[in-house]
Structures are given as C-alpha cells and as structure tokens.
Chain A
Amino acid sequence: DTAVSQTPKYLVTQMGNDKSIKCEQNLGHDTMYWYKQDSKKFLKIMFSYNNKELIINETVPNRFSPKSPDKAHLNLHINSLELGDSAVYFCASSQYGQGAGDTQYFGPGTRLTVL
C-alpha cells in the first residue's frame, strides 16, 4: 500500500494552461504539505494544511491554490502556468504537524514541464 500517493507522475502542458495535482495519504496523518523542488534539487515548502485548515502559506504566487477536501487529501491547482513553474512537486504528510521529531513522509513527486 502506498502511504503518500500523487497523480499524475508526469505533467506536460503549455504556458497559460490551468492544471491540478492530486495527493492522498492513507497514514491517518493530520497534516499535509506541498513542496517545490527546482532543477538544482533545492526543496522549498509552499503550503501546509492541518485537519483541512491552512497553517503554512509561504510566499507563493496566488496562481497556486491548495485545496484540502478532507484530511487525507491535499490538491494543488495552478492557474496560468508559466515556464518558471516547471519543477518537481512533492506532497508530504506528518502525523501531528507539531512536536519534536514529527517526521514528514513524502510522495513520489509530480514532474511538471511547462512548454
């Protein structure tokens, strides 16, 4: 059983399009995250939800909108895609979202290529 899953694994699209990436975790965790990994492998947090409530919202263009329909799902919708949005997007989850040593578990990633 996959703990944190993402779809699609690859996404190739044209500039200006709108696309969504879906994430699901079956670990019963309370907190979920979206990260962006650039071409140099640098990882930066974008958003975090705890029990469907937004708790971390980094400086991200408002073309990016996360949505959490329930605590097992966190989707990322991107409007008006730009070339600079090309990256690998990782979803992660953690049991509490607080407390020492709370480990984050990562999905396999979605490689987004904007042409």
Chain B
Amino acid sequence: ETGVTQSPTHLIKTRGQQVTLRCSSQSGHNTVSWYQQALGQGPQFIFQYYREEENGRGNFPPRFSGLQFPNYSSELNVNALELDDSALYLCASSSRQVGEKLFFGSGTQLSVL
C-alpha cells in the first residue's frame, strides 16, 4: 500500500509566475483535498476533488485551481503568484470508508520571491 506522495518537495518562484503541484493519492482513496499551511498557522482548506470534479472549496481566489485524474492523482495550479502564496501545500487523500481521517503527504514548500 503506497502512501500519499507529493512533488516537488521544494519550489522557488517569482511573483507573477504560475506553478503546478502534483499529488498521488493513497491506493484505494478516491477523494483528494488540498490545504495551504502558512508559517505558524494550521492547514487551511483550499478545495477537494471527488470523481474528477471539485466538491467543496475554501476561501481562496479563482487563481487557485485544480484537477483530478481518472487514477485519482491530482494537481494544484496557482496563477499570478503573490508573495503571500509562500507556504507549505499539503495534499490529503481519503475515501468514504475513512471519512475525515485524511492521509496527508509531506507537502510542497513553495517560496515566492
């Protein structure tokens, strides 16, 4: 059984650029959620995907978008990067069986200069 994997682990971008983060969910899980964790804060819900459709969204602007693929892997895209987007981005997978007991990846540390 493979866990949740995220790539890349670290990324440096400049303001205004675009970034794509990737996530492979745990085997058997069909739901993927993305969270942003700023320094000194708890994870904040961005959005969730189920069966390739967005199924819930937090208080994030439209420049944050995502995709889920038929194999349940997922991408998070952020356009027009801002300095405040610097954070740890966490992907979590789940299923009806585990519910809110999300399984998190180790995250992608994004730095926007």
> Do A and B originate from a single complex?
no
B contact set with A: CB distance below 8 Å: none
